[in-house]
Amino acid sequence: MAETKTILRALAGETMPTPPIWMMRQAGRYLPEYKATRAEAGDFLSLCYNSDLATEVTLQPIRRYGFDAAILFADILLVPQALGADLWFVTGEGPRLSTITGEADFAKLGGKDDIHETLNPIYQTVRNLRSALPPETTLIGFAGAPWTVATYMIAGKGTPDQAPAHALKATHPEVFDALMARITEATIEYLSHQIDAGAEVVKIFDSWAGSLKGADFDKYALAPTKEIIAALKARHPDTPIIAFPREAGENYIGFAKATGADCVAIDDSVTAEWAAQNVQTDGCVQGNLKSSHMVTGGDALVSETRRIVDALKGGPHIFNLGHGITPDADPANVQLMIDTVRGA
């Protein structure tokens, strides 16, 4: 069946007349059925760790839209929690974590072999999905990239400019480097276990890569991604890997070759035409419709979707958004996007 799955064909380098499509955060708060399941779970983390309910919300957009891939419902901050960080979510504000500000905080963390007891429900969700998904639908697992995960662990929350992480990197580089190494090791184990459980593709989300400049980008975005991919390819040579160094700009160029990624996902700060000339030359590109079109819809959604498909039709392409869909999106606009991509 694998050779007929369109996502896997694109990741293997095939150019198709109609690009396969899935959507970041496709199982989420814009869907009424998700909201109902979330209410049943009680809170976000309980939903992540309830394998049956996490399976259900992962399947909801597949039933509704028939996307070519399902992405595991989880969160990038489960790895810090599995390493021993305190994690909770504040309604309307997002995640909160205990902070890593020095050696004493870092010393409290567990190691890469300590994470699986906490994360076993996630692996069970993957197993559930592998048996529940339609045979033509690819199952994608994921994790956060070390830099992005570290920014949350250091600040204790999301920040507009990742300033606390940059400060720790500058003032206590030995602690920062040790934290990056610990996250990298744990991420390799986490993704490897997802693949063992049935994930056919894994994606590495570096949501804050764009705040790394110059040599820092190479050291803290590119190098850890390369290390993770090399380790995973050694264990699982046939599993494709998507890398998403969001807002990398010119650093998207050559990222696939430098890291070993099978596909580079691009955000909407670069154009599809630019990506065709500078990124798709090395292989598959994923992206990159602005998520705001899922709110506003209309002719602009249709024309932009067609423009992206046309710009990237000369090489392997997976259609997606440039960032995750937002809670205020209209589910009807998602269907319009899919129909436009597929030429309905």
Query: Which residues are known to be catalytic?
Result: 25, 29, 38, 75, 152
Report the alpha-carbon distance of residue 26 to residue 325 in Å, rounded.
Answer: 7
* Amino acid in position 36: A
Residues linked to residue 201 through DSSP beta bridges, in sequence order: 140
Q: What are phi and psi of 206, to 5 degrees?
A: -110, 75
Which of 74, 71, 49 lies closest to 60 in space, CA to CA? 71
Residue reference for tokens 């209410």? 39
Report the alpha-carbon distance of residue 113 to residue 162 in Å, rounded.
Answer: 28
- What is the three-class DSSP state of 203? strand
C-alpha distances (whole Å) from 100 to each of 86, 167, 323 are 11, 12, 28
Q: What is the DSSP letter of 232?
A: H
